[in-house]
Amino acid sequence: MKEALLSVENREVSSKGVLANLRRGGKVPAVFYGKGIDSKTIAVDSKTFVEIIESGGLNSVITLDFKDGKKPSIVKTLQRDIISQEPIHIDFQSISLQDTVEVLVPIRIEGIADGVKNFGALMESILREVKVKCLPTNIPKSIAIDVSPLGIGQGIRIEDLPKLDGVEYLQEPSTLIVHIVAVKEEEAAPVDAAAVAGTEPAQPEVISKGKKDKEGEEGAAAPAAGQAGAPKAAPAKK
């Protein structure tokens, strides 16, 4: 993973109004902290920061350029504006390039599953990120999985992910990432046990989604004379 350089400015803990002015000036308020060091409130250039994470991903190793020296870091927390999605606050964590770190890496799905494309199934996306342990310089931007061979009932698990040099997957190997499931169809209506050979099959009941028809508008036809249930003819008058 490419290392990126980001200049920083020290700042005092400020009120909301001061922070708003800082953001309007193209800066993002941030905090830099880590094991064995005092945390510092800083500000970084918003445009440069966005270019770094768009190019290398959110797990990019970012070397913060202080006046007293350069310090490698990774983004631990990023807050964005809910509407513009512009960064409004960043937590940078100090790291050593010689020590491993644990980070979440996004899953990138490629292709369309065979079960979805040809058999009308659905793909359940269970994990969108996978937790890895590696040196900061080995953090992948994303991990690609090809779902195109998957049929109904098949899936991809942690153990199926590509083996990457220096990268250890920390979740259980059997953990599902994606799964192809069949679409459940409505059960067919049972056959009327009273139906016998030679009789007309009963018409299915139609349930309307709109307003009910007026009663009697479409009543059942009267049985023909001679059939069970037909009214007897009135006797002729003498």
For residue 189 the two structure tokens come to 């209506």
Per-residue pLDDT tens for 139-195?
A: 999 999 999 999 999 999 999 999 999 999 999 999 999 999 998 875 444 545 444
Residue 51 lies in a domain: yes
**Residue 75: CATH number of its domain:** 2.40.240.10
The reply to whether 81 and 138 lie within a common domain is no
Residue 230 lies in a domain: no
The reply to whether 170 and 88 lie within a common domain is no
Number of domains in the chain: 2
Residue 110 lies in a domain: yes
- On the question of pLDDT at 229 being above 80, the answer is no
pTM: 0.70
Contacts 24+ apart (CB under 8 A), 12-21: 12/41, 13/41
The reply to whether 71 and 127 lie within a common domain is no
Residue 227 lies in a domain: no
Residue 111 lies in a domain: yes
Per DSSP bridges, beta strands 101-110 and 69-80 are: unpaired
Residue 138 lies in a domain: yes
The reply to whether 121 and 45 lie within a common domain is no
Per-residue pLDDT tens for 54-87?
A: 998 999 999 999 988 999 999 999 999 999 999 9
**Residue 176: CATH number of its domain:** 2.170.120.20
pLDDT, mean of residues 205-219:
41
Torsion, Cα of 86, 130, 123, 184 (10° steps)? -120
Given a contact cutoff of 8 angstroms between Cβ atoms, the answer to whether 68 and 31 are in contact is no
**Whole-number Å distance between alpha carbons of 77 and 134:** 19
Domain boundary among 69, 95, 121: 95
Given a contact cutoff of 8 angstroms between Cβ atoms, the answer to whether 132 and 140 are in contact is yes
The pLDDT value given to residue 98: 94
* Cβ within 8 Å of residue 32, ≥6 positions away: 8, 39, 40, 42, 64, 71, 73, 92, 94
Residue 137 lies in a domain: yes
The whole domain housing 26 covers 4-95
Q: Is 166 left (phi over 0), alpha (psi -120 to 50) or beta?
A: left
pLDDT, averaged across the chain: 82
**Whole-number Å distance between alpha carbons of 131 and 99:** 17
Confidence of residue 36 (pLDDT cuts 50, 70, 90): confident
The reply to whether 85 and 159 lie within a common domain is no
The reply to whether 18 and 84 lie within a common domain is yes
* Cβ within 8 Å of residue 143, ≥6 positions away: 105, 106, 107, 108, 130, 161, 162, 164
Residue 208 lies in a domain: no
The reply to whether 82 and 119 lie within a common domain is no
- On the question of pLDDT at 11 being above 50, the answer is yes
